[in-house]
Amino acid sequence: MAKKNNIGKFEYITVLDYSDGQVYQYENLEHLKDGWNESDDDSESIEWYLTETCGHRLGDIEWMTHANPEIVTP
């Protein structure tokens, strides 16, 4: 699912992968194809990274970008 992004505020990508029931978190975002373009919408670069580098299938995931690395569990 594509989300609007602004890399000036976001440093992490968190992925909920329905195919294995796991939550993944990525930093080191300089590995994105062409880096962050710092426009209002980096969805294409992020989705390339998640599929080509991390091995996720877009039909099986939801993802978001955020600044705080903490994952809160009940």
Return the pLDDT at 60: 98
pLDDT in tens, 15-73: 999 999 999 999 867 666 565 555 556 788 889 889 998 999 999 999 998 888 888 88
pLDDT at 5: 44
Is 52 a member of any domain? yes
End-to-end CA, the chain: 25
Q: Where are the alpha helices (DSSP H) in 1-74?
A: 43-48
Residue type, 6: N
What pLDDT is attached to residue 34? 60
29 domain-assigned: yes
What are the structure tokens assigned to 57, written together? 């299938």
Q: Is residue 5 part of a domain?
A: no
Range of the domain at 34: 12-66
Cα(43)–Cα(45) distance, integer angstroms: 6
Residue 2, in any domain of the structure: no
Domain count, the chain: 1
